[in-house]
Amino acid sequence: MVFSLVSSAEEHQGRRSMAMKGSLLDFLQGWMLIPWRIFIEVYTNLYRPSISKDEGEHVPDMDASDTTVDEREMRHWTKLAETWWDPEGEFALLRGFNTTRIPFIIKTYQRLLPKQSADFSDFDYPLKGLKVIDVGCGAGLVSEPLVELGADVTAVDMVPEIIQIAKTHWTQTHKGARGPEYPEYLCEPVEELAKSREGYYDMALCLEVLDHVGNLPPFVEHCCKFVRKGGCAIFSTFNRTTAALLLGIIGAEHLLRIVPMDTHHFHKFVKPSELTEMISSHGLRTVSVHGSFPLNPFARRPKWVDIGYTGVTYVLVATRD
């Protein structure tokens, strides 16, 4: 019995020691790779494909010029599928965005949408009456709280494993609730869904997604198609600036290790002026652009706040008049 306890303790200590060594090696490797990563990101940005069309691995079918699927991104997110709802996992930083994203969505709904289309009398469900599509929903980090606040949510993502995790998580945490209070999770390309649901939604959300798609202009076009007349769209992403490179890639992926390596790529970041130009060609008018920044950037789950500086990440709101 004593031998068994000693063996168990030694085994536990061995695993802990290996984990610590692995963490230390990862930490050192992350620091050592910084010069190379900066070189690669800057070089790729200088010689990157035109923003009008990404080439090579980002477009799986050379004949399908309208496709928005990035096969490399698909593989990356599939590997991380099981960690979406882990409070200490890879997406803790992304979940932290909800502290500012959800209140902002509520304020935008109440400020921009016509009063006859909104029901503001129910304080427990401030989004009651809102039809919203969450494009690139992941495992439902934003979709779930929106439903809980009364919204009718369609959530779409291209990774089947992640959509299944989203469905399972909702069922487990809401005791199998169905009906209008259940997110409609779909695994379908936006270009296909936009054909049947053009002008259907009061609000389209595209949060932290733009730098992960293959062919950006068609993707933005299809997101715009979802918005009805009088409705609005909210986009959030990284700006293509030196500050975003240093904080969003080098800081988050290499120094703090709070984002998986190779999650972001500098040449795929989008400037607000570029996004504004794209959406304006599809009938949407930009009404506001503001930045987001963590109050405690060294925390694994920082509290985010809205600020005027848009040099790192920004949120753009547009309406269809």
Q: What is the pLDDT of residue 92?
A: 74
Torsion sign over Cα 140, 91, 246, 51: negative
Q: What is the pLDDT of residue 134?
A: 98
Does pLDDT of 190 surpass 90? Answer: yes
For the chain, the domains span 1-32, 36-319
pLDDT band at 12 (very low <50, low <70, confident <90, very high): very low
Cβ–Cβ < 8 Å for 290, 312: no
Q: What is the DSSP letter of 267?
A: G
Q: Which CATH class is domain 36-319?
A: alpha beta
Average pLDDT over residues 244-269: 90
d(CA 244, CA 319): 27
Does pLDDT of 103 surpass 50? Answer: yes
Cβ–Cβ < 8 Å for 172, 102: no
Residue type, 224: C
pTM for the structure as a whole:
0.84
Q: How far is CA 263 from CA 77, 108, 214, in A?
A: 9, 29, 14
Does pLDDT of 55 surpass 50? Answer: no
136-177 residue pLDDT tens? 999 999 999 999 999 999 999 989 999 999 999 999 998 755
Average pLDDT, the chain: 82
Q: What is the pLDDT of residue 197?
A: 97
